């Protein structure tokens, strides 16, 4: 073998390495181009699959939402009919009353009656189906627009085809203390005069002539109207990518024109194309299964041949309908670009790709020669560091940094896997949504750092309550999720919910603060309450909010009826917001407070009431907690304070004796700006500070002890009286009570109810009165309803009382009269 000079050997090695790098570079160019093309194709396929899946979910959601919309509308049909009838009859009664009042001193009775009858004869409503009728309380027909020949005759013994005495039924409906009411009976259908149908009427007595004025409508007509509204809504609803909703009846007859206006009203058997008949039958079969997807082909306007379509069908058995959501496959995928072939793309891009790879190849060759050993030494070090960082990033991505519980992302992945497993093994899952009650109060009063520690402790307690197979996650804020797989029996789930509530309720000792924390739990079952994550979580959330509405510190399993309750609660919240913002329907009543030593009225407590325009008078227990949850309590509390002071000024302007006015404070109002705001109000209404008394609760004081004490001390020093309301029902200690700047201590009604017979209440009442006397605090007993309670409290040394025995909460004018009488 010939020898090779060292210099030549060096050149051969360099050229060999360079040729190898160039060959590898060219190969990498081809490989990377092919791999990139395959990746793009894969991404395109995945994008198409994802787009089709999302579109299927959207079709299912819209079809099922149409079903739910139908059920909701029909659940309100009878109530809507009642409301319309009541509104029309009330208007007719007002017209009759106005005619009578304006004419009774001018016209004869016969003339007035005729005027009322003829005025109401042409009144119609509900698209002409409803009318106003008048009958005497003795059963004589006075006005019947649809059959005037019966006017002036007795219908006392007139019965419908079910045997109901129609006239007697109407008279019974108004024979009550309200002199008004509803009646159900059957009457002749307008479209079939020989056939009767169910009808609901509303009637009111017209006392001047001993009449009843009524009006009503047919239930089936209202249902037909609602069906037509649903069909119109379906025709107006458009899905993305040109999709639409169509509705068939159970025989396959098309009821909407969204898919094909020429086929409306046709049965499948009337289609010439057998393929179209088969597609309709597929939709009907899918609906009978409870809802299913189908893929089919259909004609398309402006195109030749058949085109692929996607569809979802679900049955509405209550209406004998089938709702179909559909769309063309090409339209759904139209926004996903199509890729060129690999070879064409490679040829086009080769000049651009080759030069960077050549440069990179040369640099890589030189760098490899120079830095090979140095990089070798660093590889092991960096590998260890990379592994450590990957582990840390994995933890950050899947774990909540505060509680170290799984976060929302990991929960979603685990829930998806659990749902797939449940389908394969045919078992159920239970999803608990757990929300800490009034956690915002803890953050606002004690700080976020302490609030974080409370959440950590709650998370630990929940983990201790469940088995290793269960899954506890923090969704964010004060909300946790518990996944039970498999769900087990209903009784076991109830036991678990109760154990969770008990564990969370145990006192938490953090930084010398002993806190009592409660939670509200909502439970949803898979697959009964949701076929996907979003629906299941939403239904568990609804159940949790229902638990809060029931008073918190409890659990609630989801049911379909809860959706309506949530809608009702949201409507009530919207109405409350409008009432507070526009000061409509809100008013104050005042419960007098009496001095036991003189027997005279010395003050009153302002209590807020809400008269809803539709629901009537709503009690404070129904809307005050809602105001607290939604943050409306601040605006409401400020309105109560201003209104009460304005009323105190009005009494002063009337020359009435001066009395104090007590106003309840909420947690939201107790802040650093409160003293200045109250000072401005007192100056505005020109009132002395001694006439205002602010009532606070133990719970309010315990949420922010130091800050609350400082604010109340400033208020008391300005001359305002401070009262502690519902004493004995909270968690405050006697030592803390001695440091509060109080003028009045109110004994809660729960202790007064047992006086003077219940021994425990007697002992507690004596202790409170004696303790307050030692501290120089005036005592006021709430809820005094018997003379025996009054006598006991007076003998025990109680200073003031309030309660139904002496006076209920009164409107301002009654308070004024009582002041004149009492002083």
Express each pLDDT in 19-35 by its tens digit: 666 667 667 667 766 77
Residues 6+ apart with CB under 8 A from 301: none
Is the pLDDT assigned to residue 415 strictly greater than 80?
yes
Is the pLDDT assigned to residue 387 strictly greater than 80?
no
Segments in 718-775 forming alpha helices (H): 734-737, 749-752, 759-774
- Specify the pLDDT at position 10: 47
- List the single range of 188-197, 474-483, 727-736, 738-747 with lowest mean pLDDT: 727-736
Confidence tier at 63 by pLDDT (50, 70, 90): confident
- Specify the pLDDT at position 812: 96
Q: What is the pLDDT of residues 250-300, one digit of tens each?
A: 888 888 876 667 777 778 777 777 888 888 888 888 888 888 989 888 888
Buried b (16+ CB within 10 A) or exposed e, 744-782: bbbbbbebbeebbeeeebbebbeebbebbeeeebbbbbb
- Specify the pLDDT at position 629: 77
- Specify the pLDDT at position 7: 45
The answer to whether the beta carbons of residues 244 and 312 sit under 8 Å apart is no
Q: What is the rounded CA–CA span in Å between residue 313 and residue 64?
A: 9
Task: Please state the rounded mean pLDDT for residues 498-505.
Answer: 92
Confidence tier at 204 by pLDDT (50, 70, 90): very high
- List the single range of 24-38, 307-321, 572-586, 655-669 with lowest mean pLDDT: 24-38
Q: What percent of the chain has pLDDT over 90?
A: 35
Q: What is the pLDDT of residues 586-632, one digit of tens each?
A: 999 999 999 999 999 999 999 999 999 888 898 888 888 888 877 88
Q: What is the rounded CA–CA span in Å between residue 474 and residue 407?
A: 5
DSSP single-letter state for residue 775: T
Strands (E) located in 157-305: 180-188, 196-206, 211-218, 244-249, 292-299
Is the pLDDT assigned to residue 342 strictly greater than 80?
no
- Specify the pLDDT at position 662: 96
- List the single range of 47-51, 348-352, 625-629, 747-751 with lowest mean pLDDT: 348-352
Q: Which residue has the higher pLDDT, 785 or 230?
A: 785
Q: Which residue has the higher pLDDT, 780 or 423?
A: 780
The structure tokens listed for 12 are 């051969």
Give the other-Cβ count within 10 Å of 494's Cβ: 13
- List the single range of 70-74, 339-343, 398-402, 785-789 with lowest mean pLDDT: 339-343
The answer to whether the beta carbons of residues 113 and 209 sit under 8 Å apart is yes
The structure tokens listed for 481 are 């999720």
Is the pLDDT assigned to residue 713 strictly greater than 50?
yes
Average pLDDT for the chain: 84
Bridge partners, residue 159, by sequence: 165
Q: What is the rounded CA–CA span in Å between residue 405 and residue 14?
A: 57
Task: Please state the rounded mean pLDDT for residues 391-409.
Answer: 79
- Specify the pLDDT at position 731: 44
DSSP string, 596-642: TTT--EEEEEEEEEEEETTTEEE-HHHHHHHHHHHTTHHHHHHHHHH
The structure tokens listed for 259 are 């898919």
Residues 6+ apart with CB under 8 A from 252: 267, 268, 280, 281, 283, 284
The answer to whether the beta carbons of residues 226 and 77 sit under 8 Å apart is yes
The answer to whether the beta carbons of residues 245 and 239 sit under 8 Å apart is yes
Confidence tier at 237 by pLDDT (50, 70, 90): confident
- List the single range of 93-102, 340-349, 508-517 with lowest mean pLDDT: 340-349
Q: What is the rounded CA–CA span in Å between residue 20 and residue 28?
A: 12
Task: Please state the rounded mean pLDDT for residues 768-789.
Answer: 93
Residues 6+ apart with CB under 8 A from 817: none
First-to-last alpha carbon distance for the chain, in angstroms, is 136
Give the other-Cβ count within 10 Å of 653's Cβ: 9
- Specify the pLDDT at position 9: 44
Q: What is the rounded CA–CA span in Å between residue 385 and residue 546?
A: 50
Q: What is the pLDDT of residues 127-162, one digit of tens each?
A: 777 899 999 999 999 999 988 999 999 999 999 888
- List the single range of 101-110, 215-224, 574-583, 784-793 with lowest mean pLDDT: 215-224
Q: What is the rounded CA–CA span in Å between residue 780 and residue 793?
A: 9
Q: What is the rounded CA–CA span in Å between residue 575 and residue 584?
A: 10
How far is the CA of 225 from the CAs of 126, 255, 257, in angstroms?
10, 15, 18
- In angstroms, what is the C-alpha Rg of the chain? 39
Q: What is the rounded CA–CA span in Å between residue 716 and residue 740?
A: 10
- Specify the pLDDT at position 345: 52
How far is the CA of 511 from the CAs of 316, 453, 502, in angstroms?
59, 10, 22
Confidence tier at 475 by pLDDT (50, 70, 90): confident
Helix and strand numbers, DSSP H then E, in the chain: 24, 26
What does DSSP say about strands 130-136 and 211-218: parallel, antiparallel, or unpaired? antiparallel
Q: How far is CA 371 from the centre of its chain?
A: 65
**Torsion 778-779-783-787 (CA) sign:** negative
The answer to whether the beta carbons of residues 134 and 120 sit under 8 Å apart is yes
The answer to whether the beta carbons of residues 799 and 776 sit under 8 Å apart is no
**Cis amide leading into 756 (omega within 30):** yes
The structure tokens listed for 627 are 């105001």
Model pTM above 0.85: no
**Cis amide leading into 527 (omega within 30):** yes
- Specify the pLDDT at position 381: 65
Is the pLDDT assigned to residue 6 strictly greater than 50?
no
Q: What is the rounded CA–CA span in Å between residue 118 and residue 143?
A: 9
- Specify the pLDDT at position 372: 53
Is the pLDDT assigned to residue 500 strictly greater than 60?
yes
Bridge partners, residue 248, by sequence: 254, 322
Q: What is the pLDDT of residues 528-563, one digit of tens each?
A: 888 888 888 988 888 888 888 788 899 999 887 776
- Specify the pLDDT at position 489: 87
Q: What percent of the chain has pLDDT over 70?
A: 84
Is the pLDDT assigned to residue 739 strictly greater than 80?
no
Confidence tier at 509 by pLDDT (50, 70, 90): confident
- Specify the pLDDT at position 490: 86
């Amino acid at each position: 073998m010939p020898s090779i000079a060292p210099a030549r050997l060096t050149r051969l090695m360099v050229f060999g390495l360079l040729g190898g790098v160039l060959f590898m570079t060219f190969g990498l160019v081809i490989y990377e181009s092919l791999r990139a093309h395959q990746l793009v194709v894969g991404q395109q396929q995945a994008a198409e699959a994802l787009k089709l899946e999302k579109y299927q979910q959207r079709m299912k959601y819209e079809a099922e939402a149409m079903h739910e919309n139908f059920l909701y509308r029909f659940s309100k049909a009878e109530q809507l009919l009642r409301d319309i009838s009541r509104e029309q009859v009330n208007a007719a009664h007002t017209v009759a009353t106005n005619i009578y009042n304006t004419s009774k001193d001018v016209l004869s009775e016969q003339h007035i009656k005729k005027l009322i009858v003829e005025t109401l004869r042409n009144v119609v409503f509900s698209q002409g189906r409803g009318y106003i009728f008048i009958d005497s309380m003795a059963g004589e027909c006075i006005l019947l627009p649809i059959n005037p020949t019966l006017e002036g005759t007795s219908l006392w013994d007139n019965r419908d085809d079910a045997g109901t005495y129609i006239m007697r039924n109407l008279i019974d409906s108004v024979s009550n203390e309200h002199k008004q009411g509803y009646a159900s009976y059957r009457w002749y259908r307008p479209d079939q005069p020989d056939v009767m149908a169910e009808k609901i009427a509303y009637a009111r007595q017209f006392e001047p002539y001993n009449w009843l004025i009524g009006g009503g409508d047919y239930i089936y007509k209202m249902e037909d109207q609602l069906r037509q509204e649903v069909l119109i809504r379906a025709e107006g609803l458009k899905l993305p990518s040109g999709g639409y909703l169509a509705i068939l009846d159970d025989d396959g007859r098309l009821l909407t024109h969204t898919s094909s206006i020429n086929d409306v009203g046709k049965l499948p058997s009337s289609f010439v194309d057998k393929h179209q008949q088969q597609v309709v039958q597929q939709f009907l079969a899918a609906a009978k299964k409870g809802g299913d997807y189908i893929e089919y082909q259909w004609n398309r306007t402006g195109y030749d041949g058949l085109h692929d379509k996607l569809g979802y069908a679900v049955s509405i058995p209550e209406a004998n309908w089938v709702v179909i959501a559909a769309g063309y496959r090409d339209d759904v995928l139209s926004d996903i670009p199509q890729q060129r072939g690999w070879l064409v793309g490679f040829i086009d891009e080769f000049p651009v790709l080759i030069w960077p790879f050549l440069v990179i190849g040369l640099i890589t060759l030189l760098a490899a020669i120079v830095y090979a050993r140095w990089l070798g030494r660093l590889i092991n070090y960096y590998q260890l560091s990379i592994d450590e960082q990957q582990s840390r990033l994995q933890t950050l991505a899947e774990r909540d940094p505060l509680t170290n519980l799984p976060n929302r992302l990991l929960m979603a992945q685990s829930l998806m896997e659990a749902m797939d497993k449940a389908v394969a093994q045919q078992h159920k899952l239970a999803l608990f949504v757990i929300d800490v009650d009034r956690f915002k109060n803890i953050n606002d009063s004690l700080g976020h750092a302490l609030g974080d520690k409370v959440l950590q402790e709650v998370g630990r307690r929940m983990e201790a309550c469940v088995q290793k197979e269960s899954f506890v996650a923090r969704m964010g804020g004060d909300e946790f999720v518990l996944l039970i797989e498999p769900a087990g029996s209903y009784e076991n789930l109830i036991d678990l919910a109760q154990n969770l509530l008990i564990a969370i309720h145990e006192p938490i000792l953090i930084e010398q603060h002993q806190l009592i924390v409660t939670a509200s739990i909502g439970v949803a079952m898979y697959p009964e309450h949701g076929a996907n994550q979003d629906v299941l979580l939403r239904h568990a959330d609804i159940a949790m909010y229902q638990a809060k509405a029931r008073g918190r510190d409890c659990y609630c399993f989801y049911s379909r009826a809860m959706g309506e309750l949530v809608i009702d609660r949201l409507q009530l919240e919207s109405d409350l917001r409008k009432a507070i913002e526009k000061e409509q329907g809100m008013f104050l009543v005042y419960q007098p407070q009496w001095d036991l030593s003189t027997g005279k009225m010395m003050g009153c407590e302002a209590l807020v009431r809400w008269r809803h325009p539709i629901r009537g008078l709503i009690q404070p227990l129904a809307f005050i907690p809602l105001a607290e949850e939604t943050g409306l309590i601040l605006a409401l509390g400020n309105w109560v304070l201003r209104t009460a002071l304005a009323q105190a000024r009005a009494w002063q302007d009337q020359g009435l004796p001066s009395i104090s006015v007590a106003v309840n404070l909420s947690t939201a109002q107790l802040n650093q700006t409160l003293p200045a705001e109250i000072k401005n109000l007192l100056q505005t209404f020109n009132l002395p500070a001694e006439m205002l008394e602010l009532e606070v609760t133990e719970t309010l004081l315990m949420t922010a002890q130091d800050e609350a004490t400082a604010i109340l001390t400033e208020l008391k020093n300005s001359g305002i009286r401070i009262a502690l309301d519902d004493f004995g029902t909270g968690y405050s200690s006697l030592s803390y009570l001695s440091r509060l700047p109080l003028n009045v201590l109110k004994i809660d009604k729960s202790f007064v109810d047992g006086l003077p017979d219940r021994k425990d209440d007697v002992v507690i009442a004596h202790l409170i009165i004696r303790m307050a006397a030692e501290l120089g605090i005036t005592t006021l007993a709430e809820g005094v309803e018997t003379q025996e309670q009054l006598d006991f409290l007076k003998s025990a040394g109680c200073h003031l009382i309030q309660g139904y025995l002496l006076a209920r909460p009164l409107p301002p004018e009654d308070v004024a009269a009582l002041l004149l009488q009492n002083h």
